[in-house]
Structure 1
Amino acid sequence: MKSREKRIISGSYLELEYFPITEHGHRHDNKRRLTKKEQQNLNEKNAVKKLIRLINTNFVAGDILIHPTYRTDEMPNTEKEVIKDIQNYFRCIKAYRKKHGLPPVKYIYVVECKNGRWHWHGIMSAIDRDVAEKLWKHGDYTNADRFQPTEQEGGEAFARYISKKPMGKRRWNSSTNLKNPTVKTKDGQHTRRGIARIATQRINDRAYWERKYKGYRFVSATPVYNDYNGWWYIYAKMYRNKRKEKIPHLLR
């Protein structure tokens, strides 16, 4: 077996995975089949990771977080009705942006229902907050906030918040113009012994990680030993320092 280094670049954020692969290039983990519960937990974990990466790739400080609700007398009966209303809302957003010379909107939203009351949470490209609230016609308690990603984690907190109780078959819906994170791999850069040395001696060595991945700042690294194949697996997170971007006057 040989090692693989996988880099996932989501905007200003870098994730690193070190793991062994077979001679055919497949990840080499435990051969034991996962239980249904274990597979569900893994699927949920991967779905949240995907959402975090999409948000960090496509949205920046100053974009909009929106949390629309419904008036009691306009409360939908099904998720399908809610999605139809949301789609109409974004048609209005698109028309407004086109009229005012703004670029095409990007968005992600999640539908929720609590005690029979439907609402949704979303993130979208920067726009005047008053406009974002007024274009939702179905609720009196619509709130739009500025997206304020943290320097080290980006939009992770928001992604975890909106994915806590997904409705329907899809965890979220989105515009079709989102960019995917960049994924790069390198094989054979480290021996089994080299990976073990990183996992046991340099896992929290900030200077080591920042020297190895220049331009990025170290956040954390986690080693896990696999008893089945005798390899260490490593997951690390880093971020690139971001310059504060000025928000156009029209969008304030």
Structure 2
Amino acid sequence: MYGKEDVESMTAGFRVREQKFICGKDYATADTMQVDFFEITEQQHKASTRKKKELASSIAKEAYNLRKSGRYLELLVQRNFHKSDYSVTYTYDDEHRPDPADTKRVDKDFSAAMKKLYRMCDKKGIRHPKWIVVHEYSTYVDGVWVGKHHHHVIMQRVYGLTREMVEEAWSGRGMARCEPLHFDHGYITSLAKYIMKNVRCKRHWRQSRGLKPPKMPRPNDGKMSRTKLKDVCENRLEDRAFWEKMYPGYTLHYCEPIITGNNTRHLIVRLYRKETGMQQNRRNRP
């Protein structure tokens, strides 16, 4: 039951929407989940299901600042990749490095490497791996070129695909390093931030076909009032027990409160599956 203050808050023209981003098959089995709480207007509350999903997707992709720029990348990685997969870096040697301004050549080089890898896979009957790549470019800043072109890749380790094959695909251009993808609770978030790290250097990321987006269940506009959201942002950000009670089967990684450009609250809650004491009664899931 909401108190009088909560009811007044919810009827003052804004509501608080809860939107889950489930990085797995479903709530009961996913390894990780992110939950957004953000203020919406009454008109947005009454919108169609399609419009609500469009808003949720734009929230995940929107770049409030540099920290947000890798958010959707992070969700895609958590949804589609695992600790058995590969983390790959492709760099250029001096002889083969494209001109600093030639970003199209940089993109084409990576595409050519993937085509070569696919041909190697076809010869051996190996399924084509799925991937996400971030191209980082040399960038002209204050009269000088900053950084060097290179590529960060996260790639599936499909059956039969070796590290040597992944590195061979880049041969003749420079150095290739293929390593196991470390997939602990904080690594993927850190990797996304690292990949998007240098605000001075231009970059963009793209993905192969077939990657699954995070699952977005129907949003809930009654989970929390504006007053409750304010209290949570001020007092509950590190309260693990509070979040475990709200989302059975998960435990808190960390919370990220944001004041948006229109001066409303937005809270991102990152959760991961509890390794012990997992909820057995799935009927109790929210």
Contact between 2:19 and 2:37, CA under 8 Å: does it hold in 1? yes
Q: Match of 1:211, as an amino acid? A: K
TM-score with structure 2 setting the length: 0.67
SS at match of 2:220: strand
2:117 corresponds in structure 1 to 93
SS at match of 2:270: strand
Contact between 1:70 and 1:138, CA under 8 Å: does it hold in 2? no
Is residue 2:162 matched to residue 1:162? no
Contact between 2:17 and 2:220, CA under 8 Å: does it hold in 1? yes
Distance 1:157 1:210 in 2: 23
Q: Match of 1:42, as an amino acid? A: Y
Structure 1: unaligned runs, 5 residues or longer: 27-39, 244-252
Is residue 2:151 matched to residue 1:120? yes
SS at match of 2:182: coil
SS at match of 1:72: coil
Contact between 1:216 and 1:239, CA under 8 Å: does it hold in 2? yes
1:126-165 deviation line (CA, Å, top 9, x unaligned): 1311111112122352211111122x22412221222224
| CA gap 1:224/1:142 in 2 versus in 1, 3 angstroms | closer
2:7 corresponds in structure 1 to none
Q: 2:253 aligns with which of 219, 229, 232?
A: 219
How many residue pairs match? The answer is 226
| CA gap 1:187/1:90 in 2 versus in 1, 3 angstroms | same
1:129 corresponds in structure 2 to 163
Select between 47-56 and 137-146 the one with higher mean Cα deviation. 137-146
2:175 corresponds in structure 1 to 141
Distance 1:53 1:195 in 2: 23
Offset of 1:89 from its aligned partner? 0.9
1:189 corresponds in structure 2 to 223
| CA gap 1:41/1:132 in 2 versus in 1, 3 angstroms | closer
Offset of 1:82 from its aligned partner? 1.9
| CA gap 1:76/1:223 in 2 versus in 1, 3 angstroms | closer
Q: 1:105 aligns with which of 129, 145, 150?
A: 129
Distance 2:42 2:94 in 1: 60
Is residue 2:241 matched to residue 1:207? yes
1:21 corresponds in structure 2 to 40
Q: Match of 2:44, as an amino acid? A: G
Tell me the percent identity: 27
Give the CA RMSD over aligned residues.
3.1
Q: 1:7 aligns with which of 11, 20, 28?
A: 20
